[in-house]
């Protein structure tokens, strides 16, 4: 501590003794303590410099989350839309460029290389996408959309083409959809299989717990299945679909004279399914898929005609009238256990022959009508 000297004068001394007092008396000194100042630059801590905060926290984790989201979208598109982004970059050494690119992105979003202008604008937009609320919203949108929309892929696999295929959700009210008693279709989608497209994809609405759907194709029985999201469903025509039964209706020989101007009708539960006109030497109709007539079946027809007792000319005409049936496609196709009724109606709208029968699983059901109106089992 340094002491500061201060001189003071006594107030009771006279002017005459001032000179003498000044020579004999020593001046009085009072001391005032003063704090010492440290040397400049000594004992002071350096103030840390401020660094810019990162534009986004944990950029690597957020980039990985965005990559997972894009991967989910890619897998969904490849499964249900047959679109693949990876095929466009096939042959590129992804591993060689992925790590440096990812490191550059991390450095970019950490605020070290961001510059003014377009890069700053792009950085702000990218950072906005990588924010937690935006990433969470994108994940929710993708998961909800992927859980509500799925696809059905129908493959031809050597079946006869062209083939009309329709897929729709099953809406049943008391019976199977696809039968005459079924309820209306919902969300139906149709496409055609041909030589240029060996498979077709059809998008349908579903739900996380699956939706009952049905595939219908000309000449095949309806195929029922449950459609689940994300995985979809693949249907192969030759393996999964079964041929629908076809029914051959023949007018009895005794009514062949009424064939010109007549018609053959097919009924089910009071509803007409189809009809076809008859003509001379056209006394049969094939309802359903076109099938070749077996030689054994033709031999049986010859025996039936001979047993009818008709003359040789009538037998020949009857044989020709049955051998060349008209083909009428049915949609929806016939199914086993369906109860049907076939009628031959003459020109004057009178029923001349009929038969009631139940469809079986046989590929071709041969029905000979009985003259008059009757109830055959």
How many whole angstroms separate alpha carbon 200 and alpha carbon 206?
18
Identify the CATH number of the domain in which residue 232 sits: 2.60.40
Alpha-carbon torsion (282, 288, 291, 295), positive or negative: negative
Tell me: do 294 and 190 sit in the same domain.
no
CA 159 vs. chain centroid, Å, equals 24
In-domain check, residue 90: yes
Residue 184 CA: distances (Å) to CA of 178, 179, 267: 9, 10, 19
- Mind listing the pLDDT tens digit of every residue in the chain (377 residues)? 444 444 444 444 444 444 444 444 444 444 555 455 555 555 555 555 554 445 456 677 888 888 888 888 888 888 888 776 655 555 455 545 665 665 566 566 655 554 555 566 667 777 777 787 888 888 999 999 889 999 898 887 665 667 778 888 876 443 443 443 444 455 677 777 776 777 888 888 888 888 899 888 877 888 899 999 998 899 888 888 888 899 999 999 889 889 999 999 999 999 999 999 999 888 999 998 888 887 778 788 877 777 777 777 778 888 888 888 999 988 778 888 999 999 999 999 999 999 999 999 888 899 999 987 544 43
SS3 at position 21? helix
Radius of gyration of the chain (CA): 48
How does DSSP assign 332-374, residue by residue? Answer: SPP-TT-EEEEEEE-TTS-EEEEEEEE--SSSEEEEEPEEBS-
Last residue of a domain, one of 187, 207, 240: 240
How does DSSP assign 74-87, residue by residue? Answer: HHHHHHHT---SGG
Spatial neighbors of 317 by CB under 8 A, at least 6 apart, are: 256, 281
In-domain check, residue 115: yes
Spatial neighbors of 346 by CB under 8 A, at least 6 apart, are: 255, 258, 261, 262, 352
Q: Which residue has the tokens 């965005």?
A: 66
Tell me: do 359 and 254 sit in the same domain.
yes
Last residue of a domain, one of 225, 240, 255: 240
Last residue of a domain, one of 183, 208, 240: 240
Bridge partners, 233 (sequence order): 152
Q: Which two tokens stand for residue 264?
A: 């053959």
For residues 203 and 150, the answer to whether their CB atoms sit within 8 Å is: yes
In-domain check, residue 39: no
**What's the total number of domains in the chain?**
3
Tell me: do 168 and 107 sit in the same domain.
no
Tell me: do 252 and 235 sit in the same domain.
no
Range of the domain at 107: 59-130
Residue 249 parent element (H or E): strand 246-250
Tell me: do 111 and 159 sit in the same domain.
no
How many whole angstroms separate alpha carbon 14 and alpha carbon 284?
164
Q: Please give the model's pTM, rounded to 2 decimal places.
A: 0.57
Residue 179 pLDDT: 41
In-domain check, residue 139: no
């Amino acid at each position: 501590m340094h002491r500061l000297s201060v001189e003071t004068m006594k107030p009771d001394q006279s002017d005459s003794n001032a000179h003498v007092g000044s020579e004999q008396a020593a001046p009085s000194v009072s001391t005032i303590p003063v704090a010492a100042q440290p040397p400049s630059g000594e004992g002071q801590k350096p103030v840390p410099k401020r660094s810019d905060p990162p534009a986004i926290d944990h950029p690597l984790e957020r980039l990985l989350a965005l990559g997972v989201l894009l991967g989910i979208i890619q897998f969904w598109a490849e499964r249900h839309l047959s679109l693949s982004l990876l095929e466009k970059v096939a042959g590129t050494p992804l591993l060689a460029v992925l790590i440096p690119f990812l490191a550059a992105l991390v450095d970019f979003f950490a605020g070290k290389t961001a510059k003014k202008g377009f890069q700053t604008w792009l950085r702000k937009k990218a950072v906005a996408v990588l924010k937690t609320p935006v990433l969470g919203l994108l994940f929710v949108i993708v998961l909800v959309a992927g859980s509500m929309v799925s696809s059905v892929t129908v493959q031809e696999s050597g079946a006869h083409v062209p083939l009309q295929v329709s897929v729709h959700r099953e809406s049943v009210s008391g019976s199977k959809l696809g039968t005459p008693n079924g309820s209306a279709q919902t969300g139906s989608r149709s496409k055609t299989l041909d030589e240029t497209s060996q498979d077709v994809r059809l998008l349908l609405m579903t739900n996380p717990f699956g939706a009952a759907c049905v595939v219908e194709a000309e000449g095949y029985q309806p195929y029922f299945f449950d459609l689940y999201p994300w995985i979809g469903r693949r249907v192969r025509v030759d393996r999964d679909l079964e041929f629908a039964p076809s029914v051959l209706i023949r007018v009895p020989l005794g009514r062949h004279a009424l064939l010109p101007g007549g018609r053959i009708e097919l009924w089910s539960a009071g509803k007409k399914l189809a009809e076809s006109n008859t003509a001379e030497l056209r006394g049969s109709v094939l309802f359903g898929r076109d099938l070749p007539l077996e030689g054994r079946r033709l031999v049986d027809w010859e025996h039936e005609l001979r047993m009818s007792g008709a003359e040789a000319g009538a037998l020949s005409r009857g044989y020709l009238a049955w051998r060349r049936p008209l083909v009428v496609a049915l949609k929806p196709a016939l199914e086993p256990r369906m109860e049907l009724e076939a009628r031959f109606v003459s020109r004057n709208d009178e029923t001349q022959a009929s038969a009631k029968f139940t469809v079986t699983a046989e590929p071709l059901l041969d029905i000979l009508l009985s003259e008059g109106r009757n109830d055959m089992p």
